[in-house]
Structure 1
Amino acid sequence: MNYSNLAKNLLHLVGDKENVDALTHCATRLRFTLNDNSRAKKADIQNLEGILSVVESGGQFQVIIGNHVSHVHSALQELLSGDIKDTDATAKTTTNTEKQKVGVVSKVFEVISGSLSPLIGALAGAGMLKALIAVLVMFNVLEKTESTYLILSAAANAVFYFLPILLGVSVAIKLGANGYVGGVIGASLLEPNFTGLIDSGSADFFGIPVIAINYSSSVFPIFIAIALLALVEKYLKKVCPNSIQLFMVPMVSILVVVPLTMILFGPFGVYLGNWIADGLNWLIAHSSILTGAVVGGSMMFLVLFGLHWGIVPIIIANLALGGSSIAAMWAASTFAQIGVAAAFWLRSKDQNIKAIAGPAAMSGFLAGVTEPVIYGLIMRFRKTIPVVVVSGAVGGAFISTMNVKMVAFAFHSIPSIPLFEPVVPYVIGISISFGLSFIGTLLLNPEKQNGTSDVAAKA
């Protein structure tokens, strides 16, 4: 595929350079923030070779491409030549609200997805390293007491332990604040002078009680802290003379935000994560079957609109508490979608459909990325939607009933299986979802019902 030509055509169809306010990408989609969404020619973009679909969600114009999204993103960046800001590096703070209104909920999801997207590779890579370490221990290649294990564990655990620092940088950039100041605020929560207060029993800041908490691997506190940083920094830049802004704005920002975070926002963020975890545990305790069925049956729709990133902070927060049940239930939906792709690959006589289904299935099996399945097959053969929903619900209900949890972050794939406990019920659960979806798609034969003419032959 010629990524340069695709980027040129895509840029023209979204309204050219002047209509692009910000650009980033996640695992499979380009996320444009456009000055005027109405200028983008959605239908023409969907007909481009190499484009799976287009979604407008969370204030963003999302172009779903697939696993080669990074190549198209790089080609676009060359064309844009720094005329816009890439939110992987220095994201623009606001959209043109006079041209398009973005709701509060949509804005929150946009901030979450834009902040996590730059980190998702590191999180997934470290998670897969943890899976590899678990396999090596399982087969007695490594012992937990030897230095090799400890060194590899340090490499795998670092991104999670220091997540407040990395998120501090990422969230600050997304909100238009100083990323390095955001990192300093995250680091302050892990600095030994503060962590040393955790076991002291009591602490105060000029007489104001401080609840010293372990913030390693936490998510919600840093989101709240950096939101405050963005407001404080914006105000200080208005009132501080230019001659002293270089040191005064960061100094006062840190002076204000760090104590407030430790006194108020940090504990609230931790408690918020705990409340969410307790709420999920309550639902599971009262009806594990219903909870698993709802999560397993509905996750595809969140992925469809790019809203699944809003669940990731909850998962990461739960991992810090010992494991995430919702991540395990989510896996049922992932493998149900893979089952659809595998069935199309096996049964279809249309080589264009096979060319989509084969790589899409492998992408799901090996990387846990299912957008190519959703946009390449499920959204084109919509009779498969009930198959995915039912298959995901049944598998999710089983996984929830067996109290399966993800213990380290990773995408739902075959290589990440060791990161789920207990592993045997997890394997059974995802196999149920995959098998039901695979058999259901074969029996339904949606390609024959719809006719292959309904499917645009796009590689």
Structure 2
Amino acid sequence: MKYENLCREVLNIIKKDNIQDVFYCVTRLRIVVANKEEVDKEALTKIDGVLQVKEVGNQFQLVIGSHVKEVYNEFCEIGGFSMEDEVETENQSTSASSSGGSLGARFLGTLSGIFLPLLPVLIAGGMLKSFVIILTTFNLIEDTNGVVTILNVIGDAPFYFLPFMVGYTTAKRFKINEMYGLMIAGVLLYPTIMNQLAGETIEFLFFNIPANNYASSVMPVILSVIIFSYAFKLIDRIIPRSVRIVFSGFLTFLIVMPVLLFVVAPLGFYLGESFSNVVVWLFDTAGPLAGALTAGLMSFIVMTGMHQALQPLMIQNYASLGSDFLMPGFFINNIAVAGATLGASFKIKNPKNKAAAISGGGLGLLGITEPALYSVDIEYRTPLIGIVAGGAVGGFIYMLFGVKSYAYAMPGIFSLPTYIDDGNNLILMIISLIAAFVVAFGVSFVLTKDKGVVNE
């Protein structure tokens, strides 16, 4: 096994019987433990192959890099863990969603658990849309061709059925049958609800249920599934075990679902709309300044996990508006990370650190920045100044000209087709990216001084 030593060292430090949950994201191996006091965090950071260790509640996030899935597979095989989102333990109720930590950390952890599983299909859909844009823009195929129609259907599917997928992942996160999440989404998107005229209500017993269009919103489904999960678990405990399969779901939907339709789903709808309106107002008011702050500071936002709070808004923008103004900020920041890290590589003499800077900078161009951030930029510090400077310049430019992204994709160079429109959107985005890269590269090159051996 290629990563056997790494996996065994992690297991020796954390201990198998202390592990409750094992999963991974784009670059991190995430391990939820029963008792974090038994874990030597400093020892984890010294393992060869672990770039950084982040502690969030009872979860240790080991920054591995783009090959994290291979490490995860070997870790599960060596440790005897199921290659699922959760590991069966005696204390299964203590999960990632209920682990310790501040309220903010748990909130971000919940968002992460809901949206991270969706990223592969959203990115696949976005890239398919990009492919169609390339075909039609360069007149390689007619807009009316059946090939375009079918590819658009495939690319649009993740966004068209987004509430169902969110319902599924939310139910999984809160430890209830995922089919209940799908059913709740189905209720919210049922034609009788969807086809009501704006402002109409549906009379139900002693109250009127408002009919809203929940097709392009994720908050109503998330909040509804969360409330449903707590009600279901309460009712399920009361019902005799022998008849739970018959009555637990029936009674929960009978009693709780009308309340969700009356209060919770509309609340989620208006919260989502309000959050979107506030962010839009901020960008409309501050304009280039908001773009500079977003793209300049995005790396620090990602390090704290706060970027997860922006995921629902971006996804909702793509689903409802067909475009988004936040994704360019992520893209520009990634390119600034690449520029700053590559700039530093010219000043680093240690072969291992130089190789890490070059490879990390290359991954940054593709949209994966954590290896560069944790293996080089944080260690040398001065590249962080380049990232902020380059991101701020690129962010100022993209918001000055109102650049938008038209499909969800990994924010790297392969996502450039998602910026093609009938005007100069793509050209202006490329100008913003070049400015971010050049400034970040230059500032980092000038300020970085070799520190000798850092990552031995």
TM-score w.r.t. length of structure 2 = 0.91
Partner SS for 2:50: coil
Amino acid at match of 2:158: V
Q: CA separation of 1:290/1:34 partners in 2, compared to 1, >3 Å: closer, same or farther?
A: same
Matches within 5 A, 1:20-419: 20-57=19-56, 59-82=58-81, 86-87=85-86, 94-95=94-95, 101-198=100-197, 201-206=200-205, 208-322=207-321, 323-345=323-345, 348-366=348-366, 368-419=367-418
Query: Counterpart in 2 of 1:430?
Result: 433
Cα offset, 1:55, TM superposition: 0.7
Partner SS for 1:452: coil
Cα offset, 1:326, TM superposition: 2.1
Q: CA separation of 1:142/1:85 partners in 2, compared to 1, >3 Å: closer, same or farther?
A: closer
- Cα offsets for 1:262-289 (capped at 9, x unmatched): 3322222222222112112211222212
Partner SS for 2:32: strand
Q: CA separation of 1:88/1:192 partners in 2, compared to 1, >3 Å: closer, same or farther?
A: farther
- Cα offsets for 1:91-123 (capped at 9, x unmatched): 95535999x842222111111101212221111
Q: CA separation of 1:261/1:141 partners in 2, compared to 1, >3 Å: closer, same or farther?
A: farther
CA distance in 2, matches of 1:263, 1:410: 35
Partner SS for 1:236: helix
- Cα offsets for 1:336-363 (capped at 9, x unmatched): 1011232244554433123223332332
Partner SS for 1:54: strand
Cα offset, 1:296, TM superposition: 1.4
Cα offset, 1:247, TM superposition: 2.4
Partner SS for 1:21: strand
Contact 1:30 1:73 in 2 (8 A): yes
Moved more, 330-339 or 342-351: 342-351
CA distance in 2, matches of 1:411, 1:89: 33
Partner SS for 1:203: strand
Q: CA separation of 1:245/1:415 partners in 2, compared to 1, >3 Å: closer, same or farther?
A: same
Query: Counterpart in 2 of 1:18?
Result: 17
Contact 1:304 1:374 in 2 (8 A): no
Query: Counterpart in 2 of 1:8?
Result: 8
CA distance in 2, matches of 1:141, 1:434: 32
User: What percentage of aligned pairs have identical amino acids?
Assistant: 28
Q: CA separation of 1:58/1:133 partners in 2, compared to 1, >3 Å: closer, same or farther?
A: farther
Q: CA separation of 1:199/1:388 partners in 2, compared to 1, >3 Å: closer, same or farther?
A: same
Cα offset, 1:443, TM superposition: 1.6
Q: CA separation of 1:344/1:234 partners in 2, compared to 1, >3 Å: closer, same or farther?
A: same
CA RMSD of aligned residues (A): 2.6
- Cα offsets for 1:12-66 (capped at 9, x unmatched): 212x111111121110001121112222222222221211100112552111000
Cα offset, 1:156, TM superposition: 0.8
Contact 1:24 1:88 in 2 (8 A): no
Contact 2:81 2:87 in 1 (8 A): no
Cα offset, 1:85, TM superposition: 6.8
Moved more, 84-93 or 267-276: 84-93
CA distance in 2, matches of 1:311, 1:217: 16
- Cα offsets for 1:130-156 (capped at 9, x unmatched): 111111111112333222111111111
CA distance in 2, matches of 1:86, 1:212: 35
Amino acid at match of 2:302: V
Partner SS for 1:325: coil
CA distance in 1, matches of 2:96, 2:428: 49
CA distance in 1, matches of 2:210, 2:141: 39
CA distance in 2, matches of 1:218, 1:273: 7
Task: Report how many residues are paired.
Answer: 450
Contact 1:329 1:397 in 2 (8 A): no
Q: Could you tell me which runs of 5 or more consecutive residues in structure 1 were left unpaired when the two chains were aligned.
A: none
Partner SS for 2:413: coil
Contact 1:343 1:441 in 2 (8 A): yes
Cα offset, 1:404, TM superposition: 1.9
TM-score w.r.t. length of structure 1 = 0.90
Cα offset, 1:319, TM superposition: 2.3
CA distance in 2, matches of 1:116, 1:88: 20
CA distance in 2, matches of 1:365, 1:213: 41
CA distance in 1, matches of 2:373, 2:435: 19
- Cα offsets for 1:386-406 (capped at 9, x unmatched): 221122122112212222222
Cα offset, 1:381, TM superposition: 0.8
